[in-house]
Every structure is written in C-alpha cells, then in structure tokens.
Amino acid sequence: MVLIGVDQLTKWAIVQWVPLYGKVPLNTFINLTHQQNTGAAFSFLANASGWQRWFFVALGVIVSGVILIWIWRIRREGPWILAAGLTLVLGGAIGNLIDRIRFGYVTDFIQVWFGSWPFPSFNVADSAISVGAALLIIDALFLSGRKDKTVPD
C-alpha cells in the first residue's frame, strides 16, 4: 500500500507542478518531466488507436490476480526475496493500473540521459516493477529450488 501511495502522490505532484512535456533539470543527467504514456514499457503501442488502454487494464488485472495468488501460496514458506520481488511487481502494476483506468495513460516523470540519448521516462511504479523483476531473477537463478546439501550426491 505504501508503494502505491508514493507512486500516486509523486504522479499527482508532477501533474500539479510540471507542465505537460515540461522539464525540470535535477542535474546534468536527470530531469523531472511530465509525460503521458498510453502504451506499455518504452511506449510500446502508444500510437495504437485506443484499444491498448483496455488491453493493458485487462492484462494488469490478470497479472495482479496471479501474483496475489502466488503470494498467498508462498506466505508460510518464507522465501523473502521471492515475496519481496512479487510484492514490488504487484505494487507497481497496481500503481500503473490505477492511472490507466482513471486517465487512459500512465504519468511518467523521471528522465535519465546517457550523453545525448534519453532513456525512456519512467515513474515510481516502473522502478518498483524493475527492482521486483530483478529480485525474481535472483531468486530463480540462485535460491528457489536449491537445497543445502552437506554431502555431495
């Protein structure tokens, strides 16, 4: 809930204080900006005719439901990295889902520059999804399904 609240609060603040497509430089490589993304990651399908809004809403609801069931099933096993990753992905998905339902787009506002190349703008929810996905990968590669063995097979 905290993640969703921070995500929505930061998006509200950007909408209030930064004009659409405006930029507020924080340093030489990070700007606060105000953008409306009707697509998915990296503005995928942003220029579609409008059907993508409800497609992404449905996808968000389904993914969130699957993650909730997954978290419920592992709640007693204690795989904290897996649970943390799933929770971050879920919170980020819900944060962006709220925007899609309310406005038909997601407000993005963090813009990072690599030299003269801007990385696609993102928000707190996107950051949570990325960190959560990294934790899921770490869990899958190094933790889940592994048992401590004192004697080699």
Q: Tell me what pLDDT residue 149 has.
A: 42
Task: Report the range of poorest mean pLDDT among 40-49, 52-61, 68-77, 134-143.
Answer: 40-49
Q: Are strands 30-37 and 23-25 parallel, antiparallel or unpaired?
A: antiparallel
**Annotated catalytic residue within 108, 139, 148, 153:** 108
As a whole number, mean pLDDT of residues 104-109 equals: 93
State the average pLDDT for the chain. Answer: 87
Instruction: Categorise residue 146: left if φ over 0, alpha if ψ from -120 to 50, beta otherwise.
Output: beta
- Specify whether 108 is catalytic: yes
H/E run at residue 34? strand 30-37
Higher-pLDDT residue of 40, 115:
115
**Annotated catalytic residue within 7, 99, 126, 139:** 126
To 5 degrees, how large is the angle CA 11–CA 93–CA 53? 80
Q: At 119, phi and psi to the nearest 5?
A: -70, 145
User: Is the per-residue pLDDT at 153 higher than 80?
Assistant: no
In the block, which residue shows the tokens 């943390």?
84
User: Is the per-residue pLDDT at 107 higher than 80?
Assistant: yes
- Specify whether 126 is catalytic: yes
As a whole number, mean pLDDT of residues 24-39 equals: 92
As a whole number, mean pLDDT of residues 8-21 equals: 97
